[in-house]
Amino acid sequence: MGILRVVAGRWRGRHLSSGPGRSNIGIRPTADRVRTSMFDRLMPVLPDARVLDLCAGTGALGIEALSRGAAHVTFVERSPVAIRLIESNLGLLGLLRTEEVAVRREEVRHAIASLGRARESFDLILADPPYDGGLAREIVQALDESLILASGGWVVVEHDRRKGMPGVAGRLQQLDERIYGDTCLTYYRETRHEDGPISGDL
């Protein structure tokens, strides 16, 4: 069984399970160095944030957000094996069935649409879809259409660096890309906010 760890925050150094034979069930945990870079940059938006973790896999991204100060994380994953893994990792930290988390077994595009119909709102949305296919681009488009990203909110999509992402998707404007080997993190910000021109600085 592979081991992940929480990088920083209140559970810094705590181990999480990445599951047995994870390559056979489609789970690809984000490397520590990539998570560290992502969340160090996002620190200004994490305190008290409502976070959506799409294609959550092990739950490591959402748990890292909670460890660093997020108020609530909704985990979305369609695989029953991954859902059990997320619940196991939340249980290790005493988070399962608390008001800090919600776990949804649902296909990601359906989840985005249903959250939109429920008028849910998130300050930060993290997406780590499978690298093959075009799901990363579809998620960005669906997020714009659903209006679930709060005014001025951020989206971070992890994807294959060889597959480009749109510079603009409706109200979502791409602000940056960071490459780590074969992995690329693409950052978007919602442009309806009333603070003047958007900035890529965090």
Strands, E, within 20-166: which ranges?
50-54, 72-77, 101-105, 122-127, 149-160
Residue 197 has pLDDT above 50, yes or no: no
Q: Give the C-alpha separation, 114 to 64, whole Å.
A: 25
Question: What is the reported pLDDT for 201?
Answer: 60
Backbone angles phi, psi at 49, to 5 degrees: -75, 150
- 179-191 confidence digits (pLDDT tens): 999 999 999 999 8
**pLDDT value of position 3:** 65
In this prediction the pTM is 0.92
Contact 77, 55 (CB under 8 A): yes
Confidence at 25, pLDDT banded by 50, 70, 90:
very low
Domain extents in the chain: 2-18+29-190
- Cα angle 61, 66, 68 (rounded to 5 degrees) comes to 95
Fold exhibited by the domain 2-18+29-190:
Rossmann fold (3.40.50)
